[in-house]
Structure 1
Amino acid sequence: MFANKNISTMTINNRIEQIIEKLYKGNKRAFATAIGVAPTVIENVVGTRQGKPSYGLLEKICAIESISIAWVITGEGAMLNSCNSPTSYDIKNLADSHKINETRPRIPFEAAAGSLSLVTQSVTEAQCEQIPIVPGFPAYDFTIIVKGDSMEPEFHSGDELACKILRQSSFIQWGRPYIVDCLDGVVLKRIHDAGDDILCTSDNKNYGDFKIPKREVNHLAIVVGMMRLF
C-alpha cells in the first residue's frame, strides 16, 4: 500500500513529505498537530532547509497511521503496515545504520546578552527546530542564539551557543558563562556566588552587574561550545 517503485531515490525528507501528501492532503499544519509538534518543526524537515529529523520526531511520525519506520528511514517496503509501533531503540538502530544524524533543539528565543528578556512561557522541545549535533563539541542539550554586545569580545550577537543543562547545583563552575533561566526570562552572563543570590557579570564593561535571587532561578546551562558565521 502506497508503495512507490521510485521510492529508493527519495530522501527521508521526501518520504515524510509523501506521508503528508497521502494522509493529510499536503496540510503540514494538520500533520504537525496530529503528531504533537509545532508546524515549524515539520517545515524545517520538509521545507527549504531539509533538516534531518530527530529520533523523537521519527517516533512520533511512526506512531500514527501504522507508518512503517523501515520505509521512512530506508525507503524499503510499503508506507503503511499492520505491525506494532517500533520502540525508540528500533528507531535509533535503524537511523544510526542509515546515518540519520542525532539532533539537539535550537531554542527559538534569543539569549538577551545585555538585560533580562521577558519570556512569558516555557518552550517545549516539540516547538524547537532540531539541529544536527556538532561533531567535536562536548555533550550538550540545546543551542541558543545570542543577542546584544554585553558579552563581547568573547560572544557576539548572532553567535550560536551549545549549552549543557546543570543537573546538580554542586557542579556550578563559578566565573564561567552560563545561560540563566529565571522568573524574569533568560540571560547569558558569567555567574558568581553571592550568598542567597547569583551575581551576573558582563565581559563588556559598559554593562553593569546585577543579582538574581537563587530561589528565582529555574535552570542553569553552561556554555560548552560556540558557532559563529564569518
Structure 2
Amino acid sequence: MNNVVSQRFIKCHNKLREEKRVRSSRAFAISLDYLPQSLSEILKGRRDVTVELLRKAIDKYKMNPVYLMTGDGPMFMTEESNQSFRVLTTIQTPNDDELIVHVPLPAHSAYAAELGDPSFVQGLPTFGLPDYKYKVGTHRSFDVPGDSMEPTLFEGDKVVCSFLEPTLWESGIKDNYAYVVVTRSDVVVRRVKNLIAESKELELVADNTFYQSYRVSLSDLREIWYVRARITPFLPSPQNIQRYVHEEMIGLKETIAQQGKMINRLSAAIDRLGQP
C-alpha cells in the first residue's frame, strides 16, 4: 500500500479524470513527461509518487501542495493562492537520496525573488552529509550574511537548515530559535519571536545588539528554514580565546567602574537635596 501523499495524489488524478480535464491516465502521464507504466504502478498502489512528479503536477494542474501533504484545504489551488505559493524544488541522486542545496551569498537576492524556477535551484551547488537526520526531509544551507548574528554566527559561516512547512509555521516556530527567513526581497538569519497567532507577523531579532529587531508580515514570507547546524571556516586558537575573554573582562570592569562613579554622584546629589 502506498503512503498517504500518494493516496491524495491519486484522488487528485481521479478528480481530473472525472472533470475531463485529462482524457486518460496515459495522457496525464505524458503531459507530465512521466512513463504511463510507472503512473499505472502508482495508481495501483504498488509504488509511491516521487517528489519530482509531485512538483510537475503542482505546476501543470495546480494541485494544492497543502492538501497533498496534510489533507487540508481544497485539492486544487485557485489563481489567487497560486500567485503567492512557492513550489520547493529538490535535487536527488540516482539512488533517490535528496541532496542539500547550498544558496551562496551572491545568490540570496535572486533566490528570494525566484518563484520556484527549477532551473535556478538546479544550478546551485549541492552536497550531502553522513548524519542520518539530514537524510530525512528537505534541507538547504545558506551563507550567513553580515554580522547581525555575531557572536553566535559570523559572516562566512554556513548554516544547514531543515524546511518548515507553511502549515506548521504558527505551531512549529519556536521563540528565540534561529531560522533562515526568506521574504519576497531578502534572505536573513535571525532569532524569531512567533506572533502569527496574534498579529500574523514574525519578529526577527539579531544577536548583535547593534541591530534593532523588526517585524515581517505573514504575507511577505516565502520560506522558513530551521537552523540545525553551522559549518564555519574559523577555528580560533586557545590564545585568541584567552585574549577575547581578557578583553571582555576589561570591558566589564570599566563598565562597573563607570556605574560606580554614577552611583556616587547620584548619592552626593541626594545628600545635597536633603540638607536644610
Q: Name the TM-score, length of structure 2 as normaliser.
A: 0.42
Larger radius of gyration: 2
Task: Name the structure with the higher strand share.
Answer: 1
By relative contact order (CA 8 Å, sep 6+), the higher-ranking structure is 1
